[in-house]
Chain A
């Protein structure tokens, strides 16, 4: 290929990526514009700034998606291949747990939720109002959530290896959440429900999914579609159970 042809090819490829990012963002822009002009009927506060910001979002999203296909998916799948070729269940499980734990323990959203939870517990008179108890409570909560996410990924991998049916595990988990909701202290329930949502970051989701699908593709008798997915579901279910358990132990 000539240099000019390569250039044209790259330009067309980039434009295609940017175009699809624009389509992804069009609904937000439309909704905000509609409410601003039609319902609230006020001019936009700083039009130039908003235009620049939207441009950055489009550029950022298209770069992220390119990086997703180049780095995050291959990394997760490559690790699934390499570890299953090594044939060591021990290292595979260590890797799964570490992936969940390390990406969650310092997650800013989780730190914010844990601090908020400590405030609510102090207001409710459940723990003493001093810096030391407060910090140890919020750290305990963070470690609980991080441990539960690590355990979720580990459980997800074990499920794929042992071919446990996903829906029984999930329904059992829901049953446990429902049961624990009846007994857990009121102050922890809202936090527990939210903890399920804040655990999986934008970088972790593609890695974990690629790991699961990679494993389900390699192991004979597994279907990537029914067996490869499901780890994110554990990672949003188990933190609820563990956090309610934490509340029940701490507030006894």
Chain B
């Protein structure tokens, strides 16, 4: 009964998400373009798949993964767990939060791999590049970026250093990389920052930030608990640009070697 109630709620939420899109496309097809849609049946079936699929996805996350992830984030940030067998530790010392950093990195990586918007971008990138951008390669690179970003974000909460200085430093890195990275990867790199923080990542990561800010002495959950999302959308840009630079470097090195070989012959 409770599951049915949840299903209804998630179903309505998904419909609400898709309603403006249906109205907008309907308006343009009927009144502006005045022509029938190609493959209308397949598109309608696909829309039903999207609505039911997202509903089940959200329902399952709320039933299984979110409660567990949130409890876990809370338990790992709990002073009792942090103290463990030791008599007393200084909660203000950032070196005492080892498990938190590890959890932040792992959970950031894992939730990003399951993020549906990122799957969509990766599919499109593979299709458009004719396969030279590997969908899994892109998703793994983005996931590493999120893992690093969230770990750094938890470190920031523990040490209480200002959010804006990290973000501004990150921007400077992105700007420098932009000068050297290959043009083909640039647009996808910028986009991958925006898609990492949606359905799966935000709830667990927000719970981690809030739990941690409540434990560390001198932190205010209302102010310090946020900001992990900003880290998670900045660092994937850096890793994807870096991946592009690395790929370019290996290709150019191989070309140089080939040239040298030809000269020797």
Contacts and interface: CB of A to CB of B under 8 A. Distances in A.
Are A and B associated in one complex? yes
Interface of A: 24-25, 27-28, 30-32, 34-36, 39-40, 42, 44-45, 49-75, 78-79, 82-83, 86, 91, 95, 98-99, 102-103, 106-109, 119-120, 123, 166-167, 170-171, 174, 177-178, 181, 189-190, 193-194, 196-207, 209-210, 213, 223-233, 235-236
Contacts of B16: 106
Interface stretch (B22-30, B89-97, B245-253): B22-30
A119 B221 CA distance: 13
B207 interface: no
B195 A200 contact: yes
Nearest to A20: B119
Interface string B116-143: 1101110111001100010000000000
Contacts of A210: 124
Interface residues of B, number: 100
A64 B50 contact: yes
A205 B111 CA distance: 17
A36 B68 contact: yes
Contacts of B20: 102-103, 106
B198 A202 contact: yes
B136 to A, nearest CB: 9
Interface of B: 13, 16-18, 20-21, 23-25, 28-29, 32-33, 35, 37-39, 42-65, 67-69, 71-72, 75-76, 81, 99, 103, 106-107, 109-111, 113-114, 116-117, 119-121, 123-125, 128-129, 133, 163-164, 167-168, 171, 174-175, 178, 183-184, 186-188, 190-191, 193-195, 197-200, 202, 222-223, 226-227, 229-230, 232-233
A181 B81 CA distance: 37
Interface of A, helix, strand, loop or mixed by DSSP? helix
B165 to A, nearest CB: 10
Contacts of A199: 194
A70 B45 contact: yes
A91 B119 CA distance: 30
B189 to A, nearest CB: 8
Given A32-B72, A67-B53, A178-B168, A98 B120 contact: no
Contact of A61 (B51, B116, B198): B116
A226 B187 contact: yes
B120 A209 contact: yes
Contacts of B103: 31, 35, 39
Nearest to B168: A178
A84 to B, nearest CB: 11
Given A67-B47, A67-B48, A103 B17 contact: yes
Nearest to B116: A202
A180 to B, nearest CB: 11
Contact of A27 (B46, B52, B76, B110): B110
A40 B76 contact: yes
Contact of A52 (B39, B64, B116, B230): B64
Contacts of A31: 103, 106-107, 109-110
A83 B194 CA distance: 26
A73 B124 contact: yes
A51 B68 CA distance: 12
A12 to B, nearest CB: 18
A86 B29 CA distance: 12
13 contacts: A27-B114, A28-B65, A52-B63, A53-B63, A56-B57, A60-B57, A60-B60, A68-B120, A203-B17, A206-B120, A206-B124, A227-B187, A231-B191
A194 B199 CA distance: 15
B50 A68 contact: yes
B117 A170 contact: no
Nearest to B62: A53
Given A45-B67, A67-B48, A82-B33, 15 more contacts: A53-B62, A53-B63, A56-B59, A68-B50, A71-B42, A83-B28, A98-B24, A181-B164, A190-B163, A198-B229, A200-B198, A209-B121, A226-B184, A229-B124, A229-B191
Contacts of A196: 194, 230, 233
A205 B113 contact: no
Given A31-B110, A193-B167, A225-B187, A67 B33 contact: no
Nearest to B183: A226
Contacts of A171: 175, 178
A62 to B, nearest CB: 7
A166 B190 contact: yes
A166 B186 contact: yes
B46 A205 contact: no
